[in-house]
Amino acid sequence: MINMSKVTIYTTPTCVYCKMTKEFFKENNVTYEEKDVSVDAAARDEMVAKSNQLGVPVIDIDGELTIGFDKEKISKLLNIKN
């Protein structure tokens, strides 16, 4: 199955949950844009404006936000059967 959703993940290099989310995307062939908020101030500001918080990962799937690696919610938003 090819995912046609627009997926953006806001991450930092040291975030364990970010790595888990990206691995989950890889396993399920989800195409995503990654924004490293530790080096990209504009991305950090964008993430805070969307989510009102600084914790990562923040995952934006077609405008629907998920904070943290919530596998069940992410799977539902992407129509991935577990």
pLDDT reported for residue 17:
97
Q: Write the pLDDT tens digit of every residue in 12-58.
A: 999 999 999 999 999 999 999 999 999 999 999 999 999 999 999 99
What structural domains does the chain harbor?
A: 7-69 (3.40.30.10)
User: Cis (ω within 30 of 0) for the bond into 13?
Assistant: no
Task: Note the pLDDT of residue 40.
Answer: 97
pTM of the predicted protein model: 0.92
pLDDT exceeds cutoff 60 at 2: no
User: In the predicted model, is pLDDT for residue 5 greater than 90?
Assistant: no
Average confidence (pLDDT) over 1-5: 64
Residue 61 β-bridge partners: 7, 64
